[in-house]
Structure 1
Amino acid sequence: MKIFRTLTIALLGISGMSQAASLSAGDIRAVRVAVEKSLALMQPSSKQFFQKSGCISCHHQSIGALAVAAARERGFTVDEELARYQVKATISIAAPHREALLQAIPTIPVTPIVSSYALAGLAAERYPADETTDALVMELAARQASDGSWRTDEQRPPLEQSRFTSTTLTVRALQLYAPAGRKQEFDKRVAKAREWLANAQAHTTQEMTMRLLGLAWTRADRTQLKAAATALLSGQRSDGGWAQLPGLESDAYATGQVLFALHEAGTLKGTDPQYRTGVQFLLRTQRPDGSWHVKSRAMGFQPYFESGYPHGHDQWISSAGAAWATLALATAVEPPRTLSRR
């Protein structure tokens, strides 16, 4: 399996659109400053969170890895030592579960969500398939429901919200890390997931975004992609952002995630007016310290501690929101034609 590819091909994969030509120099400078300020805060916080919690978190580790990889690909300054630490931390937690996972025993909490997010982060960092990734995807495959979806306990919105999130992330993990001997089987599982995604009705921004990504990654019909993208675009507000729910204010989490999904699906370029309006929202709402504040909707169940990211009890979802925002901002810039890798 060819894991050693760029982020947009290896993990995220299909858009391939050129967009930097019509971005002004001022736009690019503003994006560069915002991305690098965000990474300078996110990356150390990711390490601190792991050291204090021992958790391969979706909010501090996995989504952050996507942002780091996208930034690296486009020539932004990245702390490579911290990026390597993040990969080692993820593997150090997942590896001891190998034998149980190979027997389809879900010893990793909140699977398939946590395992799928972890594999997404590993793929973004070009981690090669090995016994640990094999075990993770085999356990994930065994959990596919008869209708083609993957179920979730939906413990904490929006990160773990609904079967759209678990299905889209899991099907992508299967695509990226399918063991060679089971590729044909996994292809059938992907096709079944595509059918479920095509017919299921999404309601929240998280659901609609994940549905669009799932349809894009499973190579759904272009008509279906266009309809899903149009529904998402209609949710952009006058301030340029998107909200997680109709009654909430626009925030970095929803806005960054939507922009990335629309670009990834090949339905919106980084230079399109609606994308640039979204970028301006993200630039305008970034705090001077490089953070974004996203209000938590999840019920707390872990002891509170400081992870190094601001915003108190909202710091974990704020970190995830910053990762999506950083990913969307970085994606607005075309990668250099040649870029050395670490």
Structure 2
Amino acid sequence: MRGDRWAPERYDLEEELRLVKRRSPWEGAGQLPLSTENEMRIRARFRMSLLAFSLGCGLAGAESELPVEEVRSAIKKSIPLLEKTTIGTSEHRGCFTCHGHAMPVVALVEARRRGFIIDENNIREQLEHTLADLKVGKERYLDGRGQGGGYTRAGYALWMLREAGWRPNEITGIVSGYLVRDEKADHWKSNTNRPPTEFSPFTATYLALEAIDRFGTKEQARRIAERQKKAREWLLQTNPRETEERVFQILGLGHLGATGQAAQAAKDLLKLQRNDGGWAQLPGEERKSDPYATGSVLFALRREGVFTDMDKSYRRGVRFLLDTQHDDGSWHVKSRSKPFQKYYESGYPHGKDQFISMAAGSWATLALLQLIMVEKNP
């Protein structure tokens, strides 16, 4: 992750820039040189975190230290389940999935960066599984049809590959070309209705921005620049309806360097924190907090430099995640999507709710990982 330890009391800016330039641990993968634009983005986030830190110091009061060891224990319990989930999903599904591949893999590679032991062979298998699936859809990407799941699926696949440090190749360039094919569009739409993971144009837009930023080709540069410009205006002018959209609006604005606007959106999201420390997916007092919404909020606000260890709101959110983790290491969220695919057991608990729950477990793990220092030599 690019936005890892933004808390200035513990954060080494130059070390972060070095880590972003690091080579991937997997053969055939690697990072390209850090662009001036990305370096400026990292430095802007650091400046934003200085402000958050100065405000947070006044809020800390007599708050006790964060339970780092309890957090470590929660992460260690989650990792085997996420690994089991990726394996089970690949065994039952020949195609790439957002909930069973992208989210767990992103969480697992972030865990590796922070010193946790993961199954490296499994990660590589999941990355290759994803690339193989993209290659199956090569002609559909070339002619603009894409695969089932459209921009959201393509975006999740490339976002996962980006976070894993995979080097651009022919198929990633083709998928990037599909994402920028429509030069008139000002955002990316979702063609599925599987909330919260796969339904929102905010989600599809952020994922596409991440994808084209990393995997776009020189030939696509003009179209990429135009889409980024239009997406920025769309993100600024479009009102999010629920937590998923607020999270990805903040991530999108931060990605495009609109840190001031991202900070205001974050302030609005902070107001929605519940008395139990969590966030709900949908607006309304009758809605309950859940690990999916809470994990994604904490991750986004920490990644964009809004939270530091000193913030009471952050600590309350962490406590909610720790208290809602099950003894088996999982988190449970009730599904609100209508099933349309054949049921299978992925290895993640909670029956018919397992698919949204594995995404929730991934977000919760990502959020907790932000408390753990990055290993300098991952």
TM over 0.5: yes
Q: CA deviation at 1:102?
A: 2.1
Q: CA deviation at 1:28?
A: 1.7
Distance 1:186 1:26, change over 3 A: closer
Distance 1:296 1:143, change over 3 A: farther
Corresponding letter in the other structure for 2:268 = A
Please tell me whether residue 87 in structure 1 is matched to residue 127 in structure 2: yes
1:312-327 to 2 correspondences below 5 Å: 312-327=351-366
What is the match of residue 112 of structure 1? 151
Corresponding letter in the other structure for 2:354 = Q
1:61-105, Cα deviation, whole Å (9 max, x unpaired): 101122112111111221212111110110111112223312223
Please tell me whether residue 156 in structure 1 is matched to residue 194 in structure 2: yes
1:254-273, Cα deviation, whole Å (9 max, x unpaired): 00000111111211124422
Asked whether the 8 Å contact 1:161–1:207 carries over to 2, the reply is no
Corresponding letter in the other structure for 2:225 = D
Asked whether the 8 Å contact 1:263–1:270 carries over to 2, the reply is no
Asked whether the 8 Å contact 2:330–2:361 carries over to 1, the reply is yes
What is the match of residue 72 of structure 1? 112
Please tell me whether residue 181 in structure 1 is matched to residue 181 in structure 2: no
Corresponding letter in the other structure for 1:210 = F
Q: CA deviation at 1:29?
A: 1.1
What is the match of residue 317 of structure 2? 278
Please tell me whether residue 229 in structure 1 is matched to residue 256 in structure 2: no
Unaligned runs of 5+ in 2: 1-19, 22-29, 54-59
Normalization by structure 1: what TM-score? Answer: 0.90
Asked whether the 8 Å contact 1:35–1:330 carries over to 2, the reply is yes
Identity of matched residues, %: 38
Distance 1:149 1:103, change over 3 A: same
What is the match of residue 9 of structure 2? none
1:209-240, Cα deviation, whole Å (9 max, x unpaired): 111111000111x3311210011111111111
Corresponding letter in the other structure for 2:136 = P
Please tell me whether residue 4 in structure 1 is matched to residue 31 in structure 2: yes
Report the Cα distance in structure 1 between the residues aligned to 2:95 and 2:64, rounded to whole angstroms: 41
Once structures 1 and 2 are overlaid, which stretch shifts more, 90-99 or 308-317? 90-99
Asked whether the 8 Å contact 1:161–1:206 carries over to 2, the reply is no
Distance 1:169 1:270, change over 3 A: farther
Count of aligned residue pairs for this structure pair: 330
Distance 1:201 1:25, change over 3 A: closer
What is the match of residue 27 of structure 2? none
1:320-339 to 2 correspondences below 5 Å: 320-336=359-375, 338-339=376-377
Secondary structure class of the residue paired with 1:172: helix
Secondary structure class of the residue paired with 1:114: helix
1:171-204, Cα deviation, whole Å (9 max, x unpaired): 1211111112322331221111011101101120
Q: CA deviation at 1:25?
A: 7.8
Normalization by structure 2: what TM-score? Answer: 0.82
Secondary structure class of the residue paired with 1:291: coil
Report the Cα distance in structure 1 between the residues aligned to 2:204 and 2:367, rounded to whole angstroms: 21
Please tell me whether residue 56 in structure 1 is matched to residue 96 in structure 2: yes
Corresponding letter in the other structure for 1:245 = L
Distance 1:153 1:104, change over 3 A: closer
- C-alpha RMSD over aligned residues: 2.4
Secondary structure class of the residue paired with 1:243: coil
Report the Cα distance in structure 2 between the residues aligned to 1:266 and 1:26, rounded to whole angstroms: 18
Q: CA deviation at 1:317?
A: 0.3
Distance 1:88 1:270, change over 3 A: farther
Corresponding letter in the other structure for 1:74 = R
Distance 1:243 1:168, change over 3 A: same
Asked whether the 8 Å contact 1:271–1:332 carries over to 2, the reply is no
Q: CA deviation at 1:58?
A: 0.6
Q: CA deviation at 1:315?
A: 0.2
Unaligned runs of 5+ in 1: none
Asked whether the 8 Å contact 2:187–2:227 carries over to 1, the reply is no
1:268-317, Cα deviation, whole Å (9 max, x unpaired): 12442211111111011000000000110000001111111000000000
The structure 2 residue matched to 1:212, chosen from 234, 237, 250, is 250
Give 1 or 2 for the bigger CA radius of gyration.
2
Q: CA deviation at 1:162?
A: 2.0
What is the match of residue 76 of structure 2? 36
Corresponding letter in the other structure for 2:372 = V
Q: CA deviation at 1:55?
A: 2.6
Report the Cα distance in structure 2 between the residues aligned to 1:209 and 1:144, rounded to whole angstroms: 25
Distance 1:126 1:191, change over 3 A: same
What is the match of residue 298 of structure 2? 259
Corresponding letter in the other structure for 2:370 = T
Q: CA deviation at 1:144?
A: 5.7
Asked whether the 8 Å contact 1:34–1:290 carries over to 2, the reply is yes
